[in-house]
Amino acid sequence: MIEIKKDSVELTLESNVVYDLPFLWLRDNCQCDECRITETEEKQFLLHTVPSDIRPKSVEEKNDNLIIHWPDSHKSIIPIKKILRSSSQRYPKKESWPEDFKPQKYYWNQFLELDSLAIKGLQDFVRYDVIILKNAPDESNSLELLAKRFGPIHETLFERIHNVSVTGQVYNVAHTSKGLPPHNDFASYLYQPNVQALHMLVNECEGGESVIVDGWEAAKDLKNKNPDFFEILSNFDVPFREFDDNNETYAEAPLIRCSPSGEIESFRFSNQLMQMINPIKKNVKKFYDAYHKLSEMMHSSKYRSKFRLNSGEVLIVASLRVLHARESFIPNGKRHLQDAYFFYDNAANNIVRLSKH
Q: From the CB of 179, what's the least distance to Fe ion, in Å?
A: 12
Question: Total binding residues for Zn ion by CB under 5 A?
Answer: 5
Chain residue whose CB lies nearest Fe ion: 185
Decide: is 30 part of the binding site for Zn ion (CB under 5 A): yes
The H or E element spanning position 148 is helix 147-150
Please name the residues in contact with 104: beta carbons below 8 A apart, sequence gap of 6 or more. 121, 124, 128, 131, 132
30 binds, among Zn ion, Fe ion, none (CB under 5 to 8 A by kind): Zn ion
CA 119/CA 125 separation, integer angstroms: 10
Q: From the CB of 325, what's the least distance to Fe ion, in Å?
A: 8
Judged on CB neighbours under 10 Å (0-12, 13-18, 19+), 333 is exposed
Q: From the CB of 84, what's the least distance to Zn ion, in Å?
A: 20
Give the nearer residue to Zn ion in terms of CB position, either 68 or 222.
68
Q: From the CB of 49, what's the least distance to Zn ion, in Å?
A: 11
What is the contact surface with Fe ion in residues (CB under 5 A)?
Answer: 185
> 77 and 30 in contact (C-beta within 8 Å)?
yes
Q: From the CB of 334, what's the least distance to Fe ion, in Å?
A: 20
Give the nearer residue to Fe ion in terms of CB position, either 77 or 157.
157
Determine how β-strand 58-62 pairs with β-strand 256-258. Answer: unpaired
Q: Is the Cα dihedral 139, 143, 148, 152 positive or negative?
A: negative
With contacts defined by CB under 5 A, name the span among 3-11, 59-67, 73-81, 190-198 that binds Zn ion.
73-81
Give the nearer residue to Fe ion in terms of CB position, either 19 or 243.
243
CA 297/CA 323 separation, integer angstroms: 12
**E strand intervals along 124-176:** 130-134, 162-164
Decide: is 50 part of the binding site for Zn ion (CB under 5 A): no
Give the nearer residue to Zn ion in terms of CB position, either 76 or 188.
76
Residues contributing to the site for Zn ion (CB under 5 A): 30, 32, 34-35, 76
